[in-house]
Every structure is written in structure tokens, then in C-alpha cells.
Amino acid sequence: ARCATVLPSAGPAPVRGAPEGASPRTPVPGASLASAIQYANAEPRSTWTRAEIAAIYKQPFTELLFQAAAVHRANFDPLEVQKCTLLSIKTGGCSEDCKYCSQSARYSTTVKATPTMQLDEVVEAAKRAKAAGSTRFCMGTAWRELGGKKSTFNRILSMVKEVRGMGLEVCCTLGMVTEEQARQLKEAGLSAYNHNLDTSREHYPNVITTRTYDDRLQTIKNVRKAGITVCCGGILGIGEGVDDRIGLLHELSTMEQHPESVPVNSLVAIDGTPLEGSTPVSIFEVARTIATARITMPRSVVRLSAGRLSFSEMDQAIMFMAGANSIFTGDKLLTTPNPEFNEDEQLFDKLGMTGRPAFAAGRHDSASL
């Protein structure tokens, strides 16, 4: 397999000085090559403790990067990156109070409420995205839940069928959905459903009060029950601390089945929202989060999402090295700026990267470390 690196097998790294709560087979952060080999050869598990995740996250930056890169290479082609396009099919006017969001009706921002797009508009946007190299097309709506919006839901189901018929993976983020709504989305051809946890359970009430953490987890359960893969991640820079990032990663990595994809967003502070003027997160904070996600959820796709425009090409290269293997392309991400298609193509050329085909599986066979 291309880029497969085969190294001598290694037994468990020594556990002398292992962090409290670490299992006997937990590599000691800082043991370098032995730890990287063991992490890379490990099967996914849902038994991570907070102490284990904290030890991974807080170790020396270059050690963390090296270990994550090893895990990435054992599970994916490191030169292959999934290109996704996100379209807001219903913008603004949301009743929720998410403090980071420009689409909340509670805040005075430049985003104005618009009706749900028509089917032909969405199909044309999907065609443009596919022509530009995207293999996953995501549709988002600004509302709390799908609820009883029957005619709108039927239109969305038609959108899903049409886009799936174009040979694209299809993802939706429609707020809370019931088991029955999830079943209908599955029948229409939906590939994945995005429902982020945003942050740790502890910090969550400081950011959102109109939907509980357990509401979000219930929607994820409904989606899984329907046989739809889950896209679930969070946002950095919303007033959380390191322990909250570790808490978010713990929630995700201890799910019975890891999310198929994990979006890592960096806050784009919008004027008029309660988080306007927030200090931007650094490349080190984002890369640590990506690398820890890669080690603890080795077969999940880790996606660079909102806020990518604020990072340099070299910053983004570090994120790819840390284990990110998916991006959103196009000039807008819901309502915030995003690098344009041609800028991403130039970056891919510089890094020697290629786009990941639609419906591609990860590398789970011949590569080993």
C-alpha cells in the first residue's frame, strides 16, 4: 500500500511512571518510538479514561505529533484528504441561544433569516461542488429541531435523494431528529448526520441553554439506530479550558462506536454574538486536539472545519500531520468565510496531497507500524 511504513513489532511500552488511571497496556507518553508503534497497532476502543486522554494531550508537542502521525498512517493514506462542501439550505432566524452563532434570532448580526432553498437550487450547488472536487455534500439548517415541518422535510428528503444520485456522499445537520425522521433520511440515501457536542458536558451550559447535552446525545442515538453514520465534534475557542477539550474528546472516544467523522471547529467570532472579540485559538491548541482525536479515535475521519481561513498554509500542514484528513472547501461555511476551491487546490499541490474518493474506506488492512 502506498506510504505504508513497516517497522519492527514492539511489545507494550513500559508503564513505569504511567499516569494514574492508565491501563497496563497504555503507552507512556514520551516513550517516543515504542509508544508510536503501540498506538499505531492498537484497535479502536471505547474504554479511554480522562486521565489517559489528558496524558496524551499534555505531552510534549512534537511527541504527540509523531504518535498521531503514526496512527494516521496505520489507518489511512496520509496523502489523501476528503473534500466536503457545506451549504446552508435554511439560514438565520434560529430560536436557540448558542453564544457563538450568527444565525440565532436572539443576537443582532448581519445574518438575515431566509426561507429554505428550493430543490433545483441545491442540486445546482451540489453539481458545482462535485465539479470542484468535493466528494461529500453537506446541507445545514438554522433551527432547533426538525419537528413537524412536514413539507420542508419532504423537500429535504428529495434533496438527499438527488444529491446521492450524483454519486456524492450526503450529510445533513438539521438539529434534533426523531427515530422515524432518521429512518426516512436513511431511506432517502443519507450517508451521515452531523450533530456536534460542541464542548465538554461541564462547559456546555455556559454556551447553550436551549438544548441539553443529553438532547444532543439522544439525536445521535436516533441516527445510529437508523443505520446512518455519525459526524460529531466540537468547537475550540468558546471559553473552554484544556480540561474541557479533554472532556469533549473523552465523550467522543468513549461512545460505543466512534463517530465516523469528527469535525474540529475553531471559533470565528462574529460581531453581535456574546462571543464577539474572543481570543482566537492557536495552532498548538488546534493541533493538540486533532492529534489526540486521531490517537483515541484512530479510524475516524478528522475534519478541519470552521476557522481554517485564519490559519496559514504551514499551520494547516501541521494539522494534516497531526492526523486531519478532511476539509470543507468553498468560499463560505454556513455564514462564515472559508478558503476558496482554487486556494485549496494550490495547497494540495504544495503538500503533494490528493482528494479522497467518495465512499472510500480507511486503510484497515496491509499497513502496519
CA distance 45 to 333: 32
Closest CA to 111 of 234, 268, 281: 268
84 tagged catalytic? no
CA–chain centroid gap for 137, Å, is: 14
303 tagged catalytic? yes
Is the torsion defined by CA of 114, 99, 199, 224 positive or negative?
A: negative
Contact 22, 55 (CB under 8 A): yes
What's the angle, vertex CA 184, arms to CA 120 and CA 98, rounded to 5? 75
172 tagged catalytic? no
Give the amino acid at 347.
L
Contact 133, 83 (CB under 8 A): yes
CA–chain centroid gap for 206, Å, is: 22
Q: Which of 84, 101, 172, 232 is catalytic?
A: 101
Q: Which of 73, 84, 138, 245 is catalytic?
A: 138
Q: Which of 211, 231, 294, 356 is catalytic?
A: 231
180 Cβ contact list (under 8 Å, min separation 6): none
3 tagged catalytic? no
Q: Which of 211, 288, 303, 356 is catalytic?
A: 303
Q: Which of 73, 84, 171, 294 is catalytic?
A: 171
231 tagged catalytic? yes
Q: Which of 98, 211, 216, 245 is catalytic?
A: 98
CA distance 210 to 75: 38
Determine whether 1 is exposed, middle or buried from the number of CB atoms within 10 Å of its CB (0-12, 13-18, 19+). exposed
232 tagged catalytic? no
Q: Which residues are catalytic?
A: 94, 98, 101, 138, 171, 231, 303
